[in-house]
Copies of this chain bind each other. A is one copy, B any other.
Amino acid sequence: MATIAEIAEWTGGQAVSSLSEGKITRVSALEDADMDAAVFASSADVLEAALQSRAGVILASTKIAAEKNDNRVVLVKDPRLAFSIVGDRLRPAAAAVIHPTAVIDPTAQIGENTSVDPGAVIGAGVRIGNGCLIGARVVIEPGVVIGNRVRIQAGAILGALGFGYARRSDGSYLMFPQQGALVIEDDVEIGANTTIDRGALEETRIGAGTKIDNLVHIGHNCRIGRNVIIAAQTGISGSSVVEDGAILGGQVGMGEHATVGPGVILGGGAGVLSGKKLFGAGQVFWGRPARPLKQYLRDLARLSRGR
Against B, the Cβ 8 Å flags (1 = close, 0 = not) of A129-151 are 00000011101010000000001
Contacts of A171 in B (CB 8 A): 227, 244-245
Q: Does A294 contact B (CB under 8 A)?
A: no
Partner of A174, one of B88, B245, B307: B88
Contacts of A209 in B (CB 8 A): 172-173
CB closest residue in chain B, given A174: B84
A285 to chain B minimum Cβ distance, whole angstroms, is 14
Task: Assess the B160–A87 pair: CB atoms within 8 A.
Answer: no
Cα(A253)–Cα(B271), bound, Å: 14
Q: How many copies does the complex hold?
A: 3
Instruction: Tell me if A's interface is mostly helix, strand, loop or mixed.
Output: loop
Please list 13 pairs of residues, one from A and one from B, whose beta carbons are closer than 8 Å in the complex, sorted by A's number: A87-B179, A121-B136, A139-B192, A153-B160, A163-B211, A163-B214, A192-B197, A195-B232, A214-B217, A232-B235, A251-B271, A288-B288, A299-B303
Spell out A's residues near B (CB within 8 Å). Answer: 27-29, 31-32, 78, 80-81, 83-85, 87-88, 91, 99, 101, 103, 117-119, 121, 135-137, 139, 141, 151, 153-155, 157, 160-161, 163, 165-168, 171-177, 179, 187, 189, 191-193, 195, 197, 201-202, 209, 211, 213-215, 217, 219, 227, 229, 231-233, 235, 237, 244-245, 249-251, 253, 255, 268-269, 271, 273-274, 287-289, 295, 298-300, 302-304, 306-307
